[in-house]
Chains A and B, each alone.
Chain A
Amino acid sequence: MDLLAVTAFGTVYAIATLVLLALGLAVIFGMMGVINLAQAELLMLGAYTVLLATSHGASVWAGIALAPLVVGLIGVVIERTIIQFLYGRMLDTMLATWGLSLALVGTVTLVFGPTTEGIATPLGYQTIGRYSIAHYNVFVVAVALGALGLTYGLFNYTGWGLVARATMQNATMVAGLGVNPARVYMATFAYGSALAGLGGAIMAPLTGVVPTLGLAFIAKIFITVIVGGPVILLGTTTSGAVLGLVESIVSYASTPMYGQVAMLAFAIVLLRLLPQGISGFWRRGV
């Protein structure tokens, strides 16, 4: 019974981290159609924000609150200097952001060194029988739910969300109605970056902070968003649930390495069966 509860929570936690990390990409790729290969580096920069904040005496919580702002600003810079010239040229965007990703990893390595820096995990433990659950993991699940709810509400129930969705569908029409699409793109990209910064910051105490931090996640989050399909938030959540479940089950049965392989193989087979992604046949929406 205890084991069941802990395993169930472990699975929920695995799904929540996947969704939290993939959410920023779901906005940038799912909504804007920009394949941002530097997404993993935005996670990494979020984690480094927490590291810098704690090393300057601030608390982990302050660092986590700061990270979305810092990375959101970096997102604005990236959009203005690189992405804005490449809208509509998807493969070129992909190549340019890939270059950016290499440059960011290299630069951070030069500045902070290639070593893994630890951040003490805050909060305590809850024991269930012979097992225990870290409170911080519960916090991660809560933040994932919160970020998901915030993004859903933002795009579906605010005026800005409406304008953003309209811009993604038909930028010329929106421009004709007096809205500058360039600014909407910039804001959406910044929001997606901020989500990535939040995800990276939340994961920092769990994984440690290292310049190649994003590498461990990039494959997973891209697969999650692609399998999710066109209904970005619900699709990403569903695919996160399915893929997270596959990964957890195989990881428990063998090793995390086979968990990853199983997840990828499952995703590729799934795409053969549902080329549009899980949400391909759903009613359109965000």
Chain B
Amino acid sequence: MALAALPFLLSLFQVVQLTVFMIFCLLALSLDLIWGFGGILSFGQAAFFGVGGYAYGVIGINSGRTALAVVAAVVAAALLAALLGYFTFYGRVGAMYFAVITLTVTLILHQVMGSTADPRYAVGAARLGGYNGMTNIPSLALELPGRPSIVLEPVPLFYAVGATLLLIVALCRALVRSSFGRVLRAIREDERRTELLGYDIRWRKLLTFVISGGIAGLAGGLFAGWGNFVNPQVFSLSQSALVVIWVMVGGRGTLYGAVAGTLVVQFLTNYLGAASVTYTTVLLGVALVLIVLLFPRGLVPSLGLAARRLALGLAQAPPAEDSGPA
């Protein structure tokens, strides 16, 4: 567990950065689950992330109990996913329409949250704050019954988020390896055949979407607790695109790939993006076009395949078993 030793090796700033990268990994996992295993491309993960963030903020500010706020984040995002999924999956809306509808919901949330600058847009003590966003959101804290709650410092927060990430990865692994996961992959390969074999694909898609939405909401809640603020930028097109890029770089349908892709892209954008946000947007856009045109299977799997072919060509021998990105 090299991960556990990291806080001792890195500066405090790097620990804080890595914490938010792990939160993004959760978001990427949520997309990988629905897209990589269910074959349903959702552009709405950023929406669930944002809804989770706002729910955490509203409950956290009003009740002061952050554990409750995290639960609220998951539940709010899962509810939105359930509502959206009910209308689309039970309406048998096509895959592309589904992608467009989720994108539309994200964009409209962006505009709706952006137009809440007026102080009368508030839930209890929590002001939504328009494009400036919601501020003064309480940090994640450890709450034990009968004791004052302890606000998590960066290093304990790193461990808490890391543990959550490991837990969610394990849960997703268990889910995709279960019989439910096998049916899910069957739906990805051929919806109609799966249905003809007697499986009801509608509730399975709905359930997967709700779980995925819940994970994205969890990520949003943790994000709001990490940064103490959330603004409509979480619903923006570039944020939604980022989630897709993370998963595309890592290769969809591999849980570790989603995590690895997120870390690689975030470290690179951090490294490059010091110049300006606009340059980052242009680069992100160009990257997305190039990956789709040149590496449709995902960047890491395609490069891995190329490397293996190269090794085969050079050595004329089967390549060594690679351990995979972990």
- Which A residues form the contact surface with B (CB < 8 A)? 35, 37, 82, 85-86, 89-92, 94-96, 98-107, 109-110, 114, 215-216, 218-219, 222-223, 226, 255, 257, 260-261, 264, 268-269, 271-273, 275
Q: Are A260 and B111 in contact (CB under 8 A)?
A: yes
Name A37's closest neighbour in chain B (CB-CB).
B103
Q: Are B108 and A260 in contact (CB under 8 A)?
A: yes
Q: Do A99 and B288 form a contact, CB below 8 Å, given A92-B296, A106-B278, A110-B282?
A: yes
Q: Decide yes or no whether B237 CB sits under 8 A from chain A.
A: yes
B31-54 Cβ-contact flags toward A at 8 Å (1 or 0): 000000000010000000000000
Interface window among B5-13, B94-102, B219-227: B94-102
Name B91's closest neighbour in chain A (CB-CB).
A272
Minimum Cβ distance to chain A for residue B295 (Å): 11
Q: Are B289 and A260 in contact (CB under 8 A)?
A: no
Q: Cβ of A272: which chain B residues have Cβ within 8 Å of it?
A: 87-88, 90-91
Minimum Cβ distance to chain B for residue A210 (Å): 14
Q: Are B238 and A95 in contact (CB under 8 A)?
A: no
Query: Which residues 262-291 of B sit at the A interface, judged by CB distance below 8 A?
Result: 278-279, 281-282, 284-290
Q: Decide yes or no whether B292 CB sits under 8 A from chain A.
A: yes
Q: Cβ of A95: which chain B residues have Cβ within 8 Å of it?
A: 244, 248, 288, 292
Q: Name the one of B84, B101, B112 contacting A260, with C-beta atoms under 8 angstroms.
A: B112
Whole-angstrom CA separation of A100 from B284 in the bound complex:
9
Q: Are A106 and B281 in contact (CB under 8 A)?
A: yes
Q: Do A268 and B84 form a contact, CB below 8 Å, given A101-B285, A110-B278, A226-B100?
A: yes
Name A255's closest neighbour in chain B (CB-CB).
B115
Q: Are B111 and A82 in contact (CB under 8 A)?
A: no
Q: Are B101 and A257 in contact (CB under 8 A)?
A: no
Name B276's closest neighbour in chain A (CB-CB).
A110
Q: Do A102 and B88 form a contact, CB below 8 Å, given A82-B289, A222-B100, A223-B104?
A: no
Q: Are B241 and A99 in contact (CB under 8 A)?
A: yes
Q: Cβ of B112: which chain A residues have Cβ within 8 Å of it?
A: 257, 260-261
Q: Cβ of A94: which chain B residues have Cβ within 8 Å of it?
A: 41, 96, 99
Q: Decide yes or no whether B55 CB sits under 8 A from chain A.
A: no
Q: Cβ of A91: which chain B residues have Cβ within 8 Å of it?
A: 41, 95-96, 99
Q: Are B87 and A219 in contact (CB under 8 A)?
A: no
SS class, residues of chain B in contact with chain A: helix
Q: Do A85 and B238 form a contact, CB below 8 Å, given A96-B288, A222-B103, A275-B91?
A: no
Q: Cβ of A110: which chain B residues have Cβ within 8 Å of it?
A: 278-279, 282
Q: Are A271 and B293 in contact (CB under 8 A)?
A: no
Q: Are A264 and B104 in contact (CB under 8 A)?
A: yes
Q: Cβ of A222: which chain B residues have Cβ within 8 Å of it?
A: 100, 103-104
Q: Cβ of B96: which chain A residues have Cβ within 8 Å of it?
A: 35, 90-91, 94
Minimum Cβ distance to chain A for residue B261 (Å): 14
Whole-angstrom CA separation of A222 from B293 in the bound complex:
24
Minimum Cβ distance to chain A for residue B41 (Å): 5
Whole-angstrom CA separation of A105 from B277 in the bound complex:
12
Whole-angstrom CA separation of A269 from B86 in the bound complex:
10
Q: Name the one of A106, A219, A269 contacting B104, with C-beta atoms under 8 angstroms.
A: A219
Q: Cβ of B306: which chain A residues have Cβ within 8 Å of it?
A: none
Q: Cβ of B95: which chain A residues have Cβ within 8 Å of it?
A: 90-91
Q: Name the one of A37, A216, A261, A268 contacting B101, with C-beta atoms under 8 angstroms.
A: A268
Q: Decide yes or no whether B92 CB sits under 8 A from chain A.
A: yes
Whole-angstrom CA separation of A223 from B290 in the bound complex:
28
Q: Do A99 and B287 form a contact, CB below 8 Å, given A109-B278, A264-B108?
A: yes
Q: Decide yes or no whether B107 CB sits under 8 A from chain A.
A: yes
Whole-angstrom CA separation of A47 from B145 in the bound complex:
60
B105-148 Cβ-contact flags toward A at 8 Å (1 or 0): 10110011001000000000000000000000000000000000
Name A258's closest neighbour in chain B (CB-CB).
B112
Minimum Cβ distance to chain B for residue A41 (Å): 10
Minimum Cβ distance to chain B for residue A27 (Å): 16
Minimum Cβ distance to chain B for residue A229 (Å): 10
Whole-angstrom CA separation of A255 from B116 in the bound complex:
12
Name A222's closest neighbour in chain B (CB-CB).
B100
Q: Do A106 and B285 form a contact, CB below 8 Å, given A260-B108, A264-B105?
A: yes
Q: Cβ of B292: which chain A residues have Cβ within 8 Å of it?
A: 86, 92, 95-96, 99
Minimum Cβ distance to chain B for residue A96 (Å): 4
Interface centre among B92, B100, B286 (most CB of A within 10 A): B100
Apart from the given pairs A91-B99, A99-B289, 18 other A-B contacts in the complex at a CB distance below 8 Å: A82-B289, A85-B293, A86-B293, A92-B296, A94-B96, A98-B244, A99-B287, A101-B237, A107-B282, A110-B279, A215-B107, A215-B237, A218-B107, A219-B104, A257-B111, A260-B111, A268-B101, A271-B91
Minimum Cβ distance to chain A for residue B119 (Å): 16
Q: Cβ of B99: which chain A residues have Cβ within 8 Å of it?
A: 35, 91, 94
Q: Decide yes or no whether B150 CB sits under 8 A from chain A.
A: no
Q: Cβ of A271: which chain B residues have Cβ within 8 Å of it?
A: 87-88, 91, 93, 97, 101
